[in-house]
Structure 1
């Protein structure tokens, strides 16, 4: 439920005529009416949203700034008001319960962004506005439900320090051992120096951006260390991030975003990667403000509907190099049924799901503000599950398997449907791939001979299938395959170079991929068909080179026995 949706009180009811039409009240609520006038320095404000803090029910002020707000009960929570352009205001409920009501003043917030603002670390012990002060659990009873505690478990918190990211950026393995700089040769017919093939995997640590371009920083920091990259986006080396910049995509960073710049087609401008497409509103020295998705949190808070919209995620979940789209989970969502109509869902619906909590605040002991329980549908989790979350992956795809014996052959049909993701699966980083493994064995556990049907290509790993090297096995590898434009190495792991798109068989939202297999069927034996779908975080050859010990994650599995 949106924080702006109205709710209806329970029956039996009494209908009375009010300023805003018919208001439904239970008998015991008949006398509990909060009244008042909302105004700013210029006078009364029409159209201000007024509610009791934490409630889904609200009214709007009339042309005189006046409101009458029926309360189901007096739970002691503040009466709050907000209108575009102002901080959220609030006042003690008791003041609004007398017949004359009370005045509620709204302050306008500054409209000029302060580029000199120093972002606040969520754990800064010397800053009273640090997020952990009020949005972390201090009791030890609920250490995963507060936003700060959830954020610490989220990949956004480690975007700047992720060891896999840094090893690919620097051209090292996880032990920090660096490879040699890439060798380039000049060819007169080329418009740029050409790397010598094979240039990928030429040593024990694999490729790296800094091996290709040791004197450049690239644009990785615009998403991975955005605070570092705000002022010098093309000269920000993630290795140099310290302090709050090394905390990745942190609380204060996101809650200073008032909008994201998009082109007329609804996508970010590829020439403005990451933080360059973000519109901030940072306070002046000595002041503070926080932008959020609720309109009833009085103080230094500002309501912005954009914080609940997929566009908020667009800048860092769309990207291209050398005019080739490399990752585009936002664009995939935008083109999917999930971006429109009855099936519309936002990125936040899946990646910031409601988890049933009724509060996201733990106030300091000396703060006597009364916080009424909220509708859990208005509170979004900050753990933001993604490609490493087992439960999310298990809900992303559905398998159906049909196995029909015909004479001495077994015909297997497999359908993989993207039932749970609002974008392609797999998505984002083009190193990710999804492996469909179709295994058939006889009653003695021996694999059946494949007579016809697709097999997993070489980049599924050449070697022992028991160790995850599935090349040549019945099945499909789903991935966006890029080739190096100059060396033709495929799939290329160095997607920051000029590349060309070779193929893309990933499964779009709500789409189904079907594949068929024919096996030799042994006589008079039971057969087991075991179909598994895995997400692999990167190509296995690259993981071996980099020493990335990242286990394949089973998304779904179906077992069929014949007869």
Structure 2
């Protein structure tokens, strides 16, 4: 309401400041999102729907941090289950305001109790710079937010426009807000392993020329009609207004654009041979992304004319691993013909999957880099007669099914695409 009063009474131009004027006010108190949303209503609506906008209060995230199951019972599966007396670095990205204020790692619960606004509007738009620090000798990154982020707390808000004026605050055009390096402050995390590698994966593809877009161009798409970005502001071209939805793996629309599946099948030496090609045709980073729990499973099935499943003849290398789900439900695919695209971590004692906080090494890494194609071959028995139908599906899961089963999490299978071919 205060902002609306400002608009009604104090609607005057405030000069745009130069981008290199970085002044940080340690006494500044971050404003809640609702304050910013009084004028930036569309942005607040978008952001409130996003996964980023739900942190740090997202239940699944908190349960993984605290080592709790969906019922709130301790199960040891999570950061606090392994490091009960240490704060960890989870708060760095989920409550960055408090961590930066304190100058060191903070327990997540403590950060929330101290009034963290999470990854708020005001936090992001008072960031002046983000540095990507990589040791060229070891290849390891420095990702502690206290070392990579420069803040400019105060009444000057930083964003993509060089002509923005506001009656509520000063404005400055910020080049870092248009670059993937801004996202690297959280979508890059170095522990014993590079537990979140999204930025590094994108950068490798960008440097090769396989990708030409910045993160914002995919995850903050433009569109709609010409409109102002704030109440009372100038009308801007729709193609200059980026949505704040931050859609990713939880979005069916994004997944539909991420991969291309090609399926071929034929008879050879008395056996049905199926070739499946999966191309990372749309993602600017690996498929799936850089968080270790994300996985995509290719499920291949062959049936005779009567709908009976043909016997699979291939070895272990043609079958999905236990991480695809062990059980008797139609969603448990372990041992089924197919392939998993993922990068699961393993502890020193052999526990899998592991989080970045207790990982010792990778079990395997089958993620597909941007614009590259993975080829897999599968073998089945031939029926005595009749046509054969082969179907392949790509299914996205934000975590491994065995973990979701143990935690009691509601895990949705999102079908990205499917292809079918018939063999006479």
Q: Same fold (TM over 0.5)?
A: yes
Partner of 2:177 in structure 1? Answer: 307
Encode CA deviations 1:351-399: one digit per residue, 9 max, x unaligned.
0011223224342xxxxx562x322111111011011000001100000
Q: Per the alignment, do residues 325 and 343 of structure 1 end up closer, same or farther by CA in structure 2, a change over 3 Å counting? A: closer
Post-superposition shift, 1:116? 2.3
Give the alignment partner of residue 58 of structure 2, picking from 155, 162, 184: 162
Partner of 1:20 in structure 2? Answer: none
d(CA) in 1 for partners of 2:37, 2:114: 14
After the TM superposition, which residues 278-427 of structure 1 pair with which residues of structure 2 at under 5 Å, given as runs? 278-283=149-154, 288-299=155-166, 300-322=170-192, 324-336=193-205, 338-339=206-207, 341=209, 343-363=211-231, 371=234, 373-406=235-268, 408-427=270-289
- Given the alignment of the two structures, is residue 258 of structure 1 paired with residue 128 of structure 2, yes or no? yes
d(CA) in 2 for partners of 1:342, 1:492: 30
- Given the alignment of the two structures, is residue 456 of structure 1 paired with residue 320 of structure 2, yes or no? yes
Encode CA deviations 1:4-54: one digit per residue, 9 max, x unaligned.
xxxxxxxxxxxxxxxxxxxxxxxxxxxxxxxxxxxxxxxxxxxxxxxxxxx
Post-superposition shift, 1:173? 0.8
Q: Which has the higher contact order (CA 8 A, sep 6+)?
A: 2
**How many residues are matched?**
407
After the TM superposition, which residues 98-177 of structure 1 pair with which residues of structure 2 at under 5 Å, given as runs? 111-123=22-34, 130-136=35-41, 146-177=42-73
Post-superposition shift, 1:524? 1.8
Residues 398 and 417 of structure 1 are in contact (CA less than 8 Å); yes or no, is this contact kept in structure 2? yes
Residues 134 and 141 of structure 2 are in contact (CA less than 8 Å); yes or no, is this contact kept in structure 1? no
- Given the alignment of the two structures, is residue 443 of structure 1 paired with residue 311 of structure 2, yes or no? no
d(CA) in 2 for partners of 1:424, 1:213: 30
Partner of 1:544 in structure 2? Answer: 405
Post-superposition shift, 1:520? 0.7
Q: Extract unaligned runs of 5+ from structure 1.
A: 1-77, 87-108, 124-129, 137-145, 180-205, 364-368
TM-score in terms of structure 2 length: 0.89
Going by fraction, where is helix more abundant, 1 or 2? 2
Give the alignment partner of residue 148 of structure 2, picking from 265, 277, 282: 277
Post-superposition shift, 1:503? 1.9
Partner of 1:237 in structure 2? Answer: 107
Partner of 2:336 in structure 1? Answer: 473
d(CA) in 1 for partners of 2:176, 2:152: 13
d(CA) in 2 for partners of 1:370, 1:223: 31
Post-superposition shift, 1:462? 1.4
Post-superposition shift, 1:429? 1.9
Encode CA deviations 1:224-247: one digit per residue, 9 max, x unaligned.
111121133544222234489554
Partner of 2:92 in structure 1? Answer: 222
Q: Per the alignment, do residues 309 and 492 of structure 1 end up closer, same or farther by CA in structure 2, a change over 3 Å counting? A: same
d(CA) in 2 for partners of 1:214, 1:309: 37
The ranges of structure 1 where at least 4 consecutive aligned residues each deviate by more than 6 angstroms after the TM superposition are 78-81, 264-269
Aligned-residue CA RMSD (Å): 2.5
d(CA) in 2 for partners of 1:269, 1:256: 28
Partner of 1:33 in structure 2? Answer: none
Post-superposition shift, 1:484? 0.8
d(CA) in 1 for partners of 2:141, 2:179: 20
Post-superposition shift, 1:275? 5.3
Residues 408 and 523 of structure 1 are in contact (CA less than 8 Å); yes or no, is this contact kept in structure 2? no
Post-superposition shift, 1:334? 0.3
Partner of 1:431 in structure 2? Answer: 293
d(CA) in 1 for partners of 2:233, 2:95: 37
Give the alignment partner of residue 18 of structure 2, picking from 76, 84, 87: 84
d(CA) in 2 for partners of 1:558, 1:469: 20
d(CA) in 2 for partners of 1:544, 1:341: 40
Post-superposition shift, 1:255? 0.2
d(CA) in 1 for partners of 2:180, 2:86: 32
Post-superposition shift, 1:428? 2.5
After the TM superposition, which residues 489-528 of structure 1 pair with which residues of structure 2 at under 5 Å, given as runs? 489=351, 491-528=352-389
d(CA) in 2 for partners of 1:558, 1:437: 11
Q: Per the alignment, do residues 352 and 244 of structure 1 end up closer, same or farther by CA in structure 2, a change over 3 Å counting? A: farther
Q: Extract unaligned runs of 5+ from structure 2.
A: 1-11
> Helix, strand or coil: the match of 2:279?
strand
Post-superposition shift, 1:437? 0.3
Q: Per the alignment, do residues 511 and 381 of structure 1 end up closer, same or farther by CA in structure 2, a change over 3 Å counting? A: same
Post-superposition shift, 1:117? 1.3
TM-score in terms of structure 1 length: 0.68
